[in-house]
Structure 1
Amino acid sequence: MSELVGEILTLAIMAFALGMDAFSVGLGMGMYKLPLRRIFNIGLMIGLFHVWMPLVGLIAGKYLSEKFGTFATFIGGLLLLVLGVQMVWSTFKKGDEKIITPIGLGLLLFALSVSLDSFSVGLTLGIYGAKTVMVILCFGIVATVQTWAGLLLGRKVRGWLGAYSEALGGAILLGFGLKLLIPFW
């Protein structure tokens, strides 16, 4: 019994650590003018990706090397850079159109960029034989809650900062994307 509790605690801590990027990126993305329904949908989508990506990683972990996990982190960093540049750029443009918005394909790219690191962790957990259901439940629930918290907090900050909030949100995404890419330089 204590072994099961220890494993759940370990997975919860891991899920919290992985969900921090969802919180951080959610904080930046929350500075868009997002209605509560969209915030709800974004949180669910990221939660689903935090279920799907480690599941694929767990399955692939038995067959693939560590290089693929590193590649996933690199792609996630690039996607966050693109989203961040787009948000900062749109602050200085006169029009209100955005290249990427958290709707449709933009939401899928956003969720994918935030969830790629959970693929890498799933890869590692697959090699070590972790319990699949516990991993995906912990990762999915924690990422969803942390995304909602980041988006709602970002929404509050947007009200305080006005027109500059989107630039700040973009800077947060840029910073997080650079953090993921620094090991590659």
Structure 2
Amino acid sequence: MAWDIVQWGQFYTILMIGFALGMDAFSLGIGLGTLGIRLRTIAKISLTIGLFHILMPLLGIFTGMFLTKVVGSVASFIGGIILCYLGIQMFWAAIFKGDEDTRATRKIGGIEMLLFSLSVSMDALSVGFSFGLFAVNVWLAVVVFGILGMLMSAIGLLLGKRVGHRLGTWGEVIGGVILFAFGLKFLF
């Protein structure tokens, strides 16, 4: 079955929004990647972000018609707090444990991974709220968001890992500052 111009237009719109949502995952992934995390951890984080980029818009779409104005600002606020917390924790660990070179074996725990994925996906929740007001192909949107979120976070994490090895402890400090700065962006 062939798509008409309206369906192609909706696809390109969803693709552009998915790319914009994925840019957060990419840029924040660079900051987290400076920890020198393992490839297996990068894969887990990327898959978790992809999953959250599917679940959060679905949640937003199903509740969007009722709570768009109130929860949209609350979601950004919560995401900002989480990112600030992760940034401070990363900065603190780099400054006070900087003498030990544990970067190559640094593991990201399950709670940290879930918090990071949740905070990166908060804007997808807000997009879902707005989609709840329009006739949008829900499944196409969430699949595109999930795939782009996963791919862009993996690219960001890999880039951060590569740059982080060259920067040493300062890479961790810079990564913490990046996460904190994005958290502040969501708060204000």
Q: TM-score, normalised by structure 1?
A: 0.93
Q: Structure 2: which 5+ residue stretches go unaligned?
A: none
1:117 and 2:123 correspond: yes
Match of 1:138 in 2: 144
Give the conservation status (yes or no) of the 8 Å contact 1:47–1:140: yes
Distance 2:58 2:158 in 1: 28
RMSD over equivalenced CA pairs, Å: 1.4
Aligned residue pairs total 179
Q: Deviations over 1:10-40 (max 9, x none)?
A: 0000011111110111000001121111101
Greater alpha carbon shift after TM alignment, 118-127 vs 60-69: 60-69
Q: Displacement, 1:103?
A: 2.2
Structure 2 counterpart of 1:34, from 32, 37, 52: 37
Match of 2:85 in 1: 82
Give the conservation status (yes or no) of the 8 Å contact 1:72–1:117: yes
Q: Deviations over 1:98-125 (max 9, x none)?
A: xxx6321111111101101100110000
Match of 1:64 in 2: 67
Distance 2:114 2:65 in 1: 27
Give the conservation status (yes or no) of the 8 Å contact 1:102–1:110: no
The DSSP-based 3-state class of the residue aligned with 2:97 is coil
Q: Displacement, 1:65?
A: 3.4
Give the conservation status (yes or no) of the 8 Å contact 1:56–1:119: yes
Give the conservation status (yes or no) of the 8 Å contact 2:22–2:145: yes
Give the conservation status (yes or no) of the 8 Å contact 2:36–2:165: no
Q: Structure 1: which 5+ residue stretches go unaligned?
A: none
The DSSP-based 3-state class of the residue aligned with 1:128 is coil
1:50 and 2:88 correspond: no
Distance 1:142 1:33 in 2: 23
